[in-house]
Structures are given as structure tokens and as C-alpha cells.
């Protein structure tokens, strides 16, 4: 028996570690650094219907144990991604989560419909929580009626399981999670970035060209854990935990809070090998903490 | 071979006001292919989180060593300056695409401003090895910040400007443009964006002109999409860290 | 002319630095370390009508560049505070902000009425954003109708200016800020802590006895700056900025984002002398950045 | 005089499995008043943020030095163990109220468990100076973690227990209680809370019994209200860092 294996809708993972969308490009750069077959699952950068340039630079800024980004969903658009980028993932024997975004419900529907037909795509992750675009993005993710409606619509046209990625920038994340559950979501990913800002001391204006940006990295870990814990105790959907993970202990904290698997984002920028390193350390740490299996750990946390 | 390693600090010394020479040793040096490439350093301090990018000012592949020249500008560079010789630092690299040293070129112009000057040093060395005639046009803020004058002088003609005239000619670098010869095979430049704009405007429709760009970076190897620059007449941006940092001036919009 | 001086309703400050409520006890311990007359203003720990024991321990936990606390408003209650603690502040020639909390509107009113009559109290700070108490606290601060009503009621009985301290745990902080403004607030303090959690790897349960706690320290600085900036551009109330400040540059970033003064909390636990040290560094740093006066800096930021 | 200073590391060495002896030097040592006081150390690491509290195991005011014995338990202590002799560390202290060494006492019992044992060492030394007869009852997990046996032996009678019986008597410390003499002037204890509870239950209605408590701390000097303990029959809690860490057992609810 594989003590590290976890199974989520559409994602049969040999371990609970996958990269986070937007922090792993379209996989190729990491594929040159290590064998991606080591990972529990793979993920795409957000895909939108049309190509997007994204925001002007500066797009990134440093913060204490964290960073801000305002990339603004730069991507080549659905057609080019399908034609040029998805085939890369076929060489790996690992499930693939396709992260999708849009400015309108119709856009989400089209992208979901087409991507879910691609044989390499195991499941979709609806990004309704991007704080860096003027239309759609986070505004979809902060109103429970819109979330319910959007998830229901996307579910109708999708042939693979649908995960909904939630924003922590809300008064009550449980309410939003329940709306996604009611809409038919197969799982939840939480959290996306917190809305933040830095000022440029010389210009006295916001440092990012976009003004605000999304905060990620270790700084947000306690907020992410709280969101996972709250939602794990209020819904029965499987949860992919994310936010600030950079060590094997962080991973275990998320599973103890109720997550079934985790994503690692910003930590890849500090150490590109962080995912395989953590995977490598998992079993030893489980032994030290008397954890028999990870699926069992999540089950206990949610019982 | 891993892209990440521990590089040993052989020297870390102030060579002009707030400007330090850092010599690093490690196997990564073998993998350097071109002047203009850079490394991404993880400064071990409570006050920083992301890595910091620095161009290679020179490298000695026989000694497994390379040199970085950096200026204290903010928190990270201030902390970097504290590091003692003998300690090690996590390094990602070499990264990016640098300057192509065309062996057919007979006469080239290298234009550098401030802390954009360092990568032109190795570029000049490589051209000298090929027998190319090199002219350096270098701009500094003032005499206190002038560095590497003797080193550059060994490689070719050096024309120096300081903003306040405390060393060399007085003025910004573009004041020199009308006075220069006109028979370059190519022009290479690195420095602040306003300077690069002036270089592009003045030279790029006469000579192949190569610019090394700077952008705030997170990953440094093409996965975060943080460091982009717009392409001329194309919709998809280029990534400075992965597609550059060196671009043909006509290819990018500054 | 004093380039550091700032003037806010009820608070004539010789510099913009004051401690944050709950991170400065009732002043005495710091008074033994340095002369409190150096500070721009003083502040009390939250005062409630009845004495409160607070939450069980562990009440604090560490996070990356931050900490969680779930103190739960421990204090001796209004009567004892007035009888025993307020007199200490009389020995200083510095304005005093009294931080007050309650479980019901009536409680806020009584505490506000009595405290605003104490001659040593220069202004009140309504804490409607404490995430660590079951009743009142944050629930008051996340609903704009309740905020409006509460502020209006407290204003009616207060004879000194009233600052309202807002929670960042809301979907739209501007909406809450506007409600406080409409209710008659004289100023806003933002932010209180973000809701967070840590797990105990050994027990596999939340580390804090209270489960969740409030996140503070440098980790939250970008969120706080964003809140200040958003509110500064949407209301005309003076803002006291707070959240993660630990250096003189942090202070200037808050002023550039639109704050008129700042509070320093968690940083006092790492370096008890942080406030006088920052005050000492302000002028030199202003010279380096060509800042003529701090009031001017805020004015520019909000114009 | 400032409560905060840089203390110089004179020694930082492993003396038993995962247990280190740290010797610090600085003017703060002058201000130490009692055994049982503690210092709050800021460990210079990217991985920690708050200070960490450690009891004084001994101090030599003539040499301006004190000793701390600590166990590697988590991130901070792991990083502390990396610090090299000669470096300095930010220290807040001395803090708290320690053990009152009553010169009238003739015979006292000192009970310590695990990493709660260190402050009893200086306490034993102070009693010895006063001519008081001291008995130590010390409990360790196992032989590997046993430390300072010889040092304690110089100060009085030592009775040692290990949980697995690999050194001294086998069992938990409370197994010894019925076997002890009964003529103590006072009992002093420091260690894990279950042990302190057993000590309180067994001794506090016969002898003045003093307990040194542990709580997770933020500030360490009474301003955050993080480290409280309930008072017997009173509503306001006490602060471990400021009112304690040493309390009369009958005064606090464990
Ligand atoms: C490809 C490339 C090569 C470079 N080569 C050199 C070199 O050879 N010598 C040298 O002195 N400097 C060089 N720089 C600039 C150098 O990276 C910055 O000066 C440095 O990161 C500033 O860090 P700091 O912590 O001191 O400043 P802070 O302002 O405290 O840094 C905060 C953040 O802003 C980023 N940042 C600040 N200024 C810049 C900048 N000008 N460019 C990019 N990011 C910035 C930092 O990386 C960091 O993430 C290069 C930059 C790039 C992109
Ligand atoms: C008054 C007092 C005196 C102490 N004296 C000693 C001593 O002489 N020798 C010694 O080895 N230890 C002593 N401790 C315990 C010591 O402070 C902790 O073991 C240490 O803080 C753990 O830090 P860490 O980073 O390794 O653990 P981590 O678990 O990584 O620490 C995370 C956080 O939890 C806190 N924490 C974890 N365990 C404890 C604990 N048991 N007590 C208090 N806070 C804790 C840390 O301070 C930190 O804020 C004392 C504690 C107190 C309160
Ligand atoms: C540079 C960058 C780009 C991101 N792009 C996306 C994206 O395209 N889609 C998405 O759902 N989340 C995106 N995110 C959010 C991350 O997936 C993740 O939710 C967040 O960074 C928190 O995790 P971390 O702290 O491990 O980075 C991005 C984050 C960063 C830092
Ligand atoms: C231990 C602790 C206790 C606090 N108690 C109070 C309180 O009584 N009233 C209040 O309004 N805020 C309280 N706060 C919140 C702080 O005043 C402040 O809003 C928050 O910590 C963010 O600022 P900082 O990052 O500078 O600490 C407390 C914070 C901490 C860490
Ligand atoms: S810095 Fe990440 S893509 Fe260039
Ligand atoms: S640790 Fe802050 S009051 Fe004791």
C-alpha cells in the first residue's frame, strides 16, 4: 500500500503534492529540472478564451515572507493552448488539472467545455478568485449567488470533475464554499491570493503598475489554514489546500486542517526543487509523527 | 546538473561608493555560455524573501569563478554586502540569453550606464579575444561611483561621462552620440530604461542594436510571468528572464 | 515648525507614531523602558464593561513573519480601569486613545459615555473587529448596517472624537468604512488582525485553545496598506494606519498610502524600543526621500 | 539600563542528546536577582519571528556570564543550536520573578523533569551557599537525555528517575513521592505540567510549594497577555512572564 497516495475526484495521485497554477508556467521549465512523474498531479497556468497580454510591469513585488503579483492572467488563449501546449503534458503519467478563467459566464462555459474534452485533462479548476483583472476574476468569487450560478453552468458542460478555487477576500468563506457545493462542484481549492499593496518610496505611488496585487507565500499560510479548516468542517467536498506551503510540516498542517491534497506556489520561485524535496521527506516525517496514511489523516481531521 | 547550487563567496568588497565586487565559485560557472547571462541569488536574511538577479560581470571557467558587480540600492543588496568571504550562498543559474559575440564583427560600440555597466566588461573581453575593436561609452552618476576604468581601458577605447562632470566628460551619455564615429558593426547596451530608449532611438535603425533589459523578477526562469516586455507588433509579451535579458532593440517596446 | 507633527481629531501629535492596542499593556511596562513622552500618542488595551478573563491558553502562536493571538479581550473592566489604571497616563503630556469593546451596543454606549468623560482620554477607538470573542467583536465589524448604527449610537454619547477600528476580514472594506463615516466617525483605524490558524502537529488539532486567532506582524503589512489606500481614496476621514509596521520605511509607506498617523503593535514584542527608534530615524529618512513634512505627505497621497 | 542587549555566545555545545549548553556574556547578568528568572532570545533566522524564553540554569555575576540549557524541540531551538561561539544574539532580560531563596530554610526538596531541570541548578547552588540541605529529585526520559548529574551531585543528594529505567530508578517521578523523607521546609519544582500537577497535589498542603510554569509567550514582559494562568479563587488571571514564572502552588490553577 502506498501511504502517500490520495484519491480525489478525477485525480488519482501517488502523493498529495501538486504545483499551484501560475507558479509552474506550463510545466516545461520544471520538466527540465526534474522528472515531473514524481508529482502527485500537474496543473496549467490559467487559460482564458482569448489570448491575454496581462498587466503592465512592475507585476511583482516582495513583502515580508511573501510576494505580490499582478500578472493579470497572461496566457496564449484557449486555441493556442490546445494546439501547442497541452501535448507537453501527455508525456507524463500524472493527472492534469486545467485552471480556467474568464470575464463572463459564457467564456467560462466555452473554455470548460472544450478543455474537458481534451484527453490529457483530468479535471478543471475554476479560478473565480483572481484579484488582478478588472472584469470577472475575483468579482465572481465574492458573491455566493454568482458562484452558485457559475458553477452550475460550468458543471453542465464539463465532462470531467470541476474544482472551484476560492478567494480568501470575503467576509465568510464558508458561505461561498457552500454555494459552490450546491452548484455541483466536485472539489474546492483554497486559497487564492489575498489582496495587498506596496508603495514605492521614491515615486510615492503603488509599486505595482496595477496598484493592488495578490499576496502569496508563507505570510498567508495561517489565513489559508483557517479557510481550509472552516470549510472542511462545513462542507463535505474534498479540499485541495494551498497558500504559503514551503515545508513538509506545512503540508501536514493542511491535511490536519482537512485538506486531501495540497498545491505549492510561490515556494517554487525560491527553490524550484521544493515539490520533489517535500515528496521525498514525507514518509520520514509521517513516521516521526506516527501517521500511518495521508488519506487516513484527512479522514480523521474531517470526522 | 541542477540549476541550483551553493556558491562560495571568494571575495565581497567595496570598489567604489556603495558598489561591491563579489567573486563566486562553483560548478555553475561551467554552464555559462554568454556574457549578459545572470544569476539569481538567495540572500540569507530575515529581511528578504525572493531571490535577487545579478548579471555576470566576468567569468573564469578554468577557475570555476565568476564576478558580480552590484550596487547597494535596497534591503537585499544591503544584506548581501554583509556576507563574509568563505560563506556560501544559494544560487540559481546561469539564467537567460546573453549577448551573441559575433566573430565576424570588426568594430563594436558598447554603451553602459551605472550599474548596467558590469555585463559589458565580459562582453568586451570576449570581443577582444576575437580581435574585434571595442569602444566603451560609459556613464556614471559621479566620480565616487566610477569603477573598473582601468579594466575597461585594457580592452579598448573608453569614453566616460559623469552627470556632474566630476570625472570624464560632463553630461548624460546621449550627449556623446553626435560625436561618435559611424562605422559600427553593432551596438550593445545595458543600463537604465531612459538610457536604453535613447540608445534604441539613436542607433537601432542604423546598426544591429542589442539591449539588456531589467525588470522586477520573482522566479527568474520563466514560470511566473512577472518580468515581461511587449514585443513590437506582436501580442504576446516576451519574458526578460527567459527570452532575454538581451533583446534586439527593434524587437521590444520600451 | 515640527516636520513630524500631525494633527487628527482630538489627537495633537508631535509625531505620527503610537502603539497599538493590546500590544502595549496599559503602558506601565514600557514606561519603565523609555520616556513615553516621546510618543505621538498613547493607547489602552481594549476596555469592556465587565472584567474579562479572556480565552484559555495557548493564546499565541508564531507564523512566518507574524503571530496569531486569541487573547479574547482580557481586561479588568471599566470600573477598575477608571479607578486604578487611567491615572497612570496623567503623568504624560501625550494624547490618549481609549480602545473599547463590547458584546452589545448598550455595552459600547456605556463604556464610551463614561470613558469620554475621563479628562485623560483624548479620543475613543471602537474595536469592532476583534476576531477572538464569541459575541460582538468582529461580528459588529463585518455588516455595514450594524456598523452605521453602532457608530451613530456611540457618537451620541461621546464627548470626545471617535475612531472606528475596522477588520480586514470583509469582502469590501470600503463599504464598511463608508458606513462608519455615515455614522459620524471622526476617524478610522485600520486594520485589526486577519483571521488565521495553526495546527499542532502532535495533537493534530488547532494550536490555539480558541481554534482560530488574529494574524498580525509584518506578514499582514501588504493587506493593511491596501486597506488604507482603498479607504483613503473612498472616504475623507483621517486614517490611523496599522498592520505589520516595524521600520521607518513601513511608516512612510502607510503615510504614502493615505494614513495620517500609524500604530505599531506586534513589533513591540520583538523589540520593545521599536517606537522611539523609529521616531528617531524619521527626520533623516525624510531628508533622504525629500519629504518636507508628514502632514504634507498624507495630503498629497489623498489629493 | 536597557532591558535589551546583545549577548555574546561564549559556548554553545551539545551535552546530551539534543540538549545544549549555551553560555552567554553581557551586562544583563548584573541585573539577575534570583534563580528561576529567564531571558527572551531573538534567534537570528528566517524561520523564526518571535523571541524564545529560556530559564537561567546558572550565572556568574563576577564573570558577567550565565548558562542556559536547552533542548531542540522545534524550529527555533534547531536554529539556536547552529549559532557559533563568538557571535552575538539579541537578549531581553532578565525577566520574571524567580525562586525566593529563604536563608532560614534548613532542608528543601527540588523536583525537576526534563528540560524543566535547568533552573533548579542555580537554585540548588544558592541554597548550598546558605548552608541549606538540598535534595534533588530529577526525572529524564532516558539515559541519552540525562545531563548535569555530576554538577547536581556536588550540591546535595540526587535521586534520579528515567521513564525507561535506562538510568537511575525506573518510572515517573511521582513514583518516588511515597519513598521520600517528610521534613522539608519547602518544595520547588519545574517541569512539564502533568508533573507540576502531581507535585502540587502531593506536597502543597504540607509544605510551601513553588512551581515554575511554562506558557507560550509573545512579549515576555507582561504587555501582550498571551501567557496567563488562572488564579485560585480570583477572576483575574496572572501572567506567567511577569507575575511568575514561579508561583506558590496554591495560588494558581493548573
Ligand atoms: C537581469 C538583471 C540583471 C541585473 N544585474 C545587476 C547587476 O549586475 N548589478 C546590480 O547591482 N544590479 C543588477 N540588477 C538589479 C538588481 O537585481 C537590483 O538592484 C536588486 O534586486 C535590488 O535589490 P534590493 O533588495 O537591494 O532592493 P529592494 O528595492 O529592497 O528590492 C525589493 C524588490 O525589488 C526588486 N528590485 C528592486 N530594484 C530592482 C531593479 N532595478 N531591477 C530588478 N529588480 C529590482 C528586487 O529584486 C526585490 O524583489 C539586475 C537586475 C536584473 C533584472
Ligand atoms: C519561562 C520559560 C522558561 C523556559 N526555559 C527553558 C529552558 O531552560 N530550556 C529549554 O530547553 N526550554 C525552555 N523553555 C521552553 C522553550 O521556550 C521552548 O522549548 C522553545 O520556545 C521552543 O521553541 P522552538 O522554536 O524550538 O519550538 P517551536 O514549536 O517551533 O516554536 C513555535 C512557538 O511555540 C513556542 N513554544 C513551543 N514550545 C514551547 C514551550 N514548551 N513553552 C513555551 N513556548 C513554547 C515557541 O516559543 C514559539 O513561539 C522555557 C519556556 C518558558 C515559558
Ligand atoms: C505569479 C503568480 C501567478 C498566479 N497565477 C494564477 C493563475 O493563473 N490562476 C490561479 O488560479 N492562481 C494563480 N495564482 C495563485 C496561486 O495559484 C496560489 O493560489 C497562491 O499563490 C497561494 O499559494 P502560494 O502561497 O503557495 O503561492 C498565482 C500566484 C502567483 C504568485
Ligand atoms: C496580542 C495582541 C492583542 C491585541 N489586542 C487588541 C485589543 O485589545 N484591541 C484592539 O483593538 N486590537 C488588538 N490587537 C490588534 C492590534 O492592535 C493590531 O490591530 C494588529 O495587531 C495589527 O497590527 P501589528 O501588525 O502592528 O501588530 C491585538 C493584537 C495582538 C497581537
Ligand atoms: S521572473 Fe518569472 S517569468 Fe521572468
Ligand atoms: S508573554 Fe506577553 S504577557 Fe506574558
Interatomic CA distance for residues B48 and B113, integer angstroms: 27
Q: Considering only CB atoms, which chain C residues are within 8 Å of D222?
A: 25, 29
Does A4 score more than 70 pLDDT? Answer: yes
Interatomic CA distance for residues B23 and B9, integer angstroms: 6
Domain that holds residue D37: 4-94
Instruction: Note whether B219 contacts A66, CB cutoff 8 Å.
Output: no
Instruction: Confirm or reject contact between B233 and chain A (CB < 8 A).
Output: no
Instruction: Confirm or reject contact between B192 and chain D (CB < 8 A).
Output: no
Domain count of chain D?
A: 2
Closest listed ligand to the CA of B81: 1
Instruction: Confirm or reject contact between B225 and chain A (CB < 8 A).
Output: yes
- pLDDT at position C133 is 67
Residues with Cβ within 6 A of ligand 2? C 62; D 38, 50, 52-55, 68-71, 73-77, 115, 118, 214-217, 245
Task: Pick left, alpha or beta for residue B231 (phi over 0 → left; psi -120 to 50 → alpha; otherwise beta).
Answer: beta
A28 is in an annotated binding site: no
Residue D89 CA from chain centroid, whole number: 20
Q: Minimal CA–CA distance to C42: which of C23, C26, C18, C7? A: C18
Q: Minimal CA–CA distance to D56: which of D27, D18, D29, D86? A: D29
In a domain, residue B156? The reply is: yes
User: Which residues of C are annotated as catalytic?
Assistant: 130
CA dihedral D9, D14, D19, D22 (to 10 degrees): -10
- pLDDT at position A130 is 74
CB C123 within 8 A of CB C95: yes
Nearest to B50 among A23, A51, A269 (CB): A269
A266 CA distance to ligand 3 centroid (A)? Answer: 7
In a domain, residue B65? The reply is: yes
What are the cell numbers at D211? 512551581
Low-confidence ranges of chain C (pLDDT < 70): 1, 132-138
CB A153 within 8 A of CB A146: no
Q: Are residues D196 and D112 in the same domain?
A: yes
Ligand 1 near B55 CB (within 6 A): yes
Nearest-CA residue of chain C relative to A198? C222
CB C66 within 8 A of CB C218: yes
What are the cell numbers at C243? 498592520
In a domain, residue B219? The reply is: no
**What mean pLDDT do residues D92-121 have?**
96
- pLDDT at position D1 is 53
Those residues whose C-beta lies under 8 Å from the C-beta of residue B79, and which sit 6 or more positions away, are B43, B44, B45, B47, B48
pTM of the prediction?
Answer: 0.96
Task: Determine which helix (DSSP H) or strand (DSSP E) holds B128, and give its type and residue range.
Answer: helix B118-129
Instruction: Note whether A273 contacts B50, CB cutoff 8 Å.
Output: no
How is residue A85 annotated by DSSP? I
pLDDT tens-digit readout, B41-93? 999 998 999 999 999 999 999 999 999 999 999 999 999 999 999 999 999 99
Interatomic CA distance for residues D156 and D121, integer angstroms: 11
D54 is in an annotated binding site: yes
Q: Are residues D176 and D120 in the same domain?
A: yes
CA dihedral B42, D53, A245, A268 (to 10 degrees): 10
Interatomic CA distance for residues B139 and B142, integer angstroms: 9
Interatomic CA distance for residues C254 and B174, integer angstroms: 38
Residue C232 CA from chain centroid, whole number: 17
A165 is in an annotated binding site: yes
Annotated binding site for FAD: which residue ranges of B?
52-55, 76-77
In a domain, residue D218? The reply is: no
CB A160 within 8 A of CB A186: no
Interatomic CA distance for residues D254 and D250, integer angstroms: 10
Interatomic CA distance for residues A138 and D40, integer angstroms: 43
* Residue B109 CB neighbours (<10 A): 25
Does D188 score more than 60 pLDDT? Answer: yes
CB C38 within 8 A of CB C17: no
A195 CA distance to ligand 3 centroid (A)? Answer: 12
CB C209 within 8 A of CB C70: yes
Interatomic CA distance for residues C98 and A22, integer angstroms: 45
Task: Determine which helix (DSSP H) or strand (DSSP E) holds B9, and give its type and residue range.
Answer: strand B4-16
How is residue A148 annotated by DSSP? H
Phi then psi dihedrals of residue B80, to 5 deg: -60, -40
- pLDDT at position C69 is 97
**What mean pLDDT do residues D133-147 have?**
95
A69 is in an annotated binding site: yes
C139 CA distance to ligand 5 centroid (A)? Answer: 41
How is residue B237 annotated by DSSP? P
Interatomic CA distance for residues A8 and A295, integer angstroms: 10
Those residues whose C-beta lies under 8 Å from the C-beta of residue D234, and which sit 6 or more positions away, are none
Q: Considering only CB atoms, which chain C residues are within 8 Å of D50?
A: 60, 62, 67, 269-270
Interatomic CA distance for residues C239 and C258, integer angstroms: 7
In a domain, residue D234? The reply is: no
* For chain B, percent of residues with pLDDT exceeding 70: 100
CB D244 within 8 A of CB D26: no
**HSE value, Cβ hemisphere, 13 Å, CA-based, for C159:** 9
What are the cell numbers at A71? 500578472
Q: Three-state DSSP class for C208?
A: strand
Q: Three-state DSSP class for B184?
A: coil
Ligand 5 near B95 CB (within 6 A): no
Does B141 score more than 60 pLDDT? Answer: yes
Q: Considering only CB atoms, which chain D residues are within 8 Å of C33?
A: 2-3
In a domain, residue D198? The reply is: yes
Q: Are residues D69 and D118 in the same domain?
A: no
Q: Are residues B203 and B156 in the same domain?
A: yes
Instruction: Note whether D49 contacts C63, CB cutoff 8 Å.
Output: yes
Q: What is the mean pLDDT of chain A?
A: 95
Q: Are residues D204 and D145 in the same domain?
A: yes
Instruction: Confirm or reject contact between A33 and chain C (CB < 8 A).
Output: no
Q: Three-state DSSP class for A258?
A: coil
Query: What CATH number is associated with residue D129?
Result: 3.40.50.80
Instruction: Note whether A220 contacts C219, CB cutoff 8 Å.
Output: yes
**What mean pLDDT do residues D25-37 have?**
96
The arrangement of strands across the sheet holding C194-196 comes to C60-63, C66-69, C213-216, C194-196
pLDDT tens-digit readout, D199-224? 999 999 999 999 999 999 999 999 99
Those residues whose C-beta lies under 8 Å from the C-beta of residue A52, and which sit 6 or more positions away, are A72, A73, A74, A75, A77
Nearest to A74 among B4, B90, B225 (CB): B225
Q: Minimal CA–CA distance to D133: which of D155, D160, D111, D117? A: D155
Q: Considering only CB atoms, which chain D residues are within 8 Å of C54?
A: 225, 228, 237
Place of cell 464558508: A174
Does A145 score more than 70 pLDDT? Answer: yes
Q: Are residues D116 and D208 in the same domain?
A: yes
What are the cell numbers at D240? 506567567
Alpha-carbon gap: D156 to the closest alpha carbon of chain B (Å):
45
Using CA of residue B115, residue B121, residue B122, residue B124, what is the dihedral sign? positive
Q: Three-state DSSP class for A117?
A: coil
ipTM of predicted assembly, 2 dp: 0.96
**Among B69, B94, B119, which residue terminates a domain?**
B94
Instruction: Note whether C61 contacts D216, CB cutoff 8 Å.
Output: yes
CB D108 within 8 A of CB D134: yes
The residue of C62, C64, C267, C271 whose CB has the most chain D CBs within 10 angstroms, and thus the best one to mutate to test that interface, is C62
- pLDDT at position B2 is 75
Q: Considering only CB atoms, which chain B residues are within 8 Å of A67?
A: 49-50, 218
Q: Are residues B191 and B111 in the same domain?
A: yes
What are the cell numbers at D41? 532570545
Those residues whose C-beta lies under 8 Å from the C-beta of residue D19, and which sit 6 or more positions away, are D69, D70, D71, D72, D115, D145, D147
The CATH code belonging to domain C6-301 is: 3.20.20.70
Q: Three-state DSSP class for D110?
A: strand
CB A209 within 8 A of CB A59: yes
Amino acid at each position: 500500500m502506498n501511504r502517500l497516495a490520495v484519491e480525489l475526484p478525477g485525480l488519482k495521485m501517488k502523493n498529495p503534492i501538486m504545483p499551484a497554477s501560475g507558479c509552474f508556467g506550463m510545466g516545461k521549465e520544471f520538466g527540465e529540472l526534474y522528472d515531473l512523474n514524481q508529482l502527485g498531479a500537474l496543473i496549467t497556468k490559467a487559460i482564458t478564451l482569448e489570448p491575454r497580454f496581462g498587466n503592465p510591469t512592475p507585476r511583482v513585488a516582495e513583502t515580508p515572507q511573501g510576494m505580490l503579483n499582478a500578472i493579470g492572467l497572461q496566457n496564449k488563449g484557449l486555441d493556442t493552448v490546445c494546439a501547442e501546449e497541452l501535448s507537453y503534458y501527455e508525456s507524463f503519467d500524472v493527472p492534469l488539472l486545467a485552471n480556467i478563467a474568464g470575464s463572463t459566464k459564457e467564456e467560462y462555459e466555452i473554455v470548460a467545455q472544450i478543455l474537458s474534452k481534451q484527453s490529457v485533462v483530468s479535471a478543471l479548476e475554476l479560478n473565480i478568485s483572481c484579484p488582478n483583472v478588472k472584469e470577472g476574476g475575483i468579482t465572481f468569487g465574492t458573491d455566493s449567488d454568482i458562484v452558485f450560478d457559475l458553477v452550475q453552468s460550468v458543471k453542465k458542460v464539463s465532462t470531467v470533475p470541476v474544482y472551484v478555487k476560492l478567494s480568501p477576500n470575503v467576509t465568510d468563506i464558508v458561505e461561498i464554499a457552500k454555494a459552490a457545493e450546491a452548484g455541483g462542484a466536485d472539489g474546492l481549492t483554497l486559497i487564492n491570493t489575498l489582496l495587498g499593496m506596496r508603495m514605492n518610496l521614491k515615486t510615492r505611488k503603488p509599486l505595482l503598475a496595477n496598484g493592488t496585487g495578490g499576496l502569496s507565500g508563507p505570510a498567508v499560510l495561517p489565513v489559508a489554514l483557517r479557510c481550509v479548516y472552516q470549510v472542511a468542517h462545513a462542507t463535505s467536498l474534498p479540499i485541495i489546500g494551498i497558500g504559503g506551503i514551503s515545508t513538509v510540516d506545512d503540508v501536514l498542517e493542511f491535511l490536519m486542517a482537512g485538506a486531501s491534497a495540497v498545491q505549492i506556489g510561490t515556494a517554487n520561485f525560491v527553490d524550484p526543487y521544493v515539490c520533489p524535496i517535500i515528496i521525498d521527506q514525507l514518509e520520514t516525517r509521517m513516521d516521526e509523527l506516527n501517521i500511518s496514511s495521508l488519506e487516513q489523516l484527512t479522514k480523521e481531521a474531517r470526522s | 546538473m541542477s540549476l541550483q547550487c551553493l556558491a562560495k563567496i571568494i571575495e565581497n568588497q567595496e570598489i567604489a561608493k556603495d558598489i561591491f565586487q563579489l567573486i563566486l565559485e562553483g560548478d555553475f560557472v561551467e554552464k555559462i555560455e554568454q556574457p549578459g547571462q545572470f544569476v539569481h541569488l538567495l540572500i540569507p536574511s530575515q529581511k528578504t524573501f525572493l531571490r535577487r538577479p545579478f548579471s555576470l560581470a566576468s567569468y573564469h571557467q578554468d577557475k570555476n569563478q565568476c564576478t558580480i558587480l552590484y550596487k547597494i540600492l535596497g534591503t537585499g543588496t544591503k544584506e548581501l554586502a554583509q556576507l563574509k568571504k568563505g560563506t556560501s550562498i544559494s544560487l540559481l543559474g546561469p539564467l537567460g540569453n546573453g549577448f551573441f559575440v559575433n566573430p565576424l564583427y570588426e568594430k563594436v560600440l558598447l554603451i553602459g550606464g551605472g550599474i548596467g555597466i558590469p555585463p559589458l566588461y565580459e562582453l568586451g573581453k570576449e570581443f577582444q579575444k576575437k580581435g574585434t575593436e571595442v569602444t566603451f561609452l560609459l556613464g556614471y552618476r559621479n566620480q565616487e561611483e566610477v569603477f573598473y576604468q582601468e579594466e575597461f581601458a585594457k580592452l579598448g577605447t573608453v569614453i566616460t561621462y559623469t552627470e556632474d562632470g566630476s570625472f570624464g566628460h560632463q553630461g548624460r551619455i546621449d550627449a556623446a552620440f553626435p560625436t561618435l564615429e559611424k562605422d559600427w558593426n553593432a551596438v550593445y547596451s545595458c543600463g537604465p530604461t531612459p538610457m536604453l530608449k535613447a540608445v534604441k532611438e539613436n542607433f537601432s535603425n542604423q546598426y544591429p542594436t542589442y539591449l539588456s533589459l531589467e525588470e522586477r523578477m520573482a522566479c527568474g526562469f520563466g514560470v511566473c510571468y512577472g518580468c515581461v516586455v511587449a514585443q513590437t507588433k506582436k501580442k504576446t509579451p516576451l519574458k526578460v528572464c527567459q527570452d532575454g535579458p538581451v533583446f534586439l532593440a527593434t524587437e521590444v517596446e520600451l
